[in-house]
Amino acid sequence: MRFTDKVAMVTGAGHGIGAAIAERLASEGARVLICDIDAELARERAGDIGAADGIAECCAIDVVRRDDVQRAVDRAVSLWSRLDILVCSAGVMDREPFLEASDAHWEKVTGINLRGTFLCGQIAARRMVAQGEGGRIVNVASNSGVFGGRGRAAYGASKAGVINLTQSMAIELAEHDILVNAVGPGPTLTRPEDQGELMASAQNRMPLKRYGKPAEIASVAAFLASDECSFTTGHVFFADGGFTIAGVMEG
């Protein structure tokens, strides 16, 4: 029960990786604010956590809107008097070829993935600083942030930005005892009905030749959000089946 008496806010928590992280934190005692742009999904996840004897409330927000993010932080504080943990999981991976990508595509992907992480991190950190007791911020990056991919110019650039943002936040917030790290998922089975088989290009580069499970990403995020993570900040922990470290696979 690493998170007893802790209050956590998780964005993009209506489904997939965000939902798994919220469930993991709640299962270890955290009081969790489930944030998602889809109000119904947020309510469902909060209900699931409650049914499992956890404590959760929901808040529908658009992470690219500063007022929405402030409202969510204020709600967590009004419910439980504090905010100790922020997990920025809200994201989108729409793909378009580079030569055909529209301004709308670029602005949507970078807006949600990078601007949203910035806004949530800044507003939550201001609250943590005011409390004076430190905190933990965990951003969800991606291995697409460290190498290129077809159709992923906006997505890869946004996740590379999240990695650098994590590093910059870690430097500036260290004096307030707020540790900032990121988890970098590889291919993860968040929508089994749509994803099909793991793509060949990924299989050829992954020592563990399978999709990750949201719960496996959540276990890394939970460590980064916990007091056990006490001397690590500004790092990205890739939960990607070895995808990021793979070089020559033959021989």
- Provide the annotated active-site residues: 155
Q: Which two tokens stand for residue 32?
A: 């969790």
137 — phi, psi (to 5°)?
-125, 130
CA distances from residue 203 to 48, 85, 151, 206, 214 in whole angstroms, order as listed: 34, 34, 19, 5, 18
Q: Checking phi first, is residue 6 left (phi over 0); if not, alpha (psi -120 to 50) or beta?
A: beta
**Distance between CA atoms of residues 245 and 42, nearest Å:** 35
**Distance between CA atoms of residues 71 and 123, nearest Å:** 10
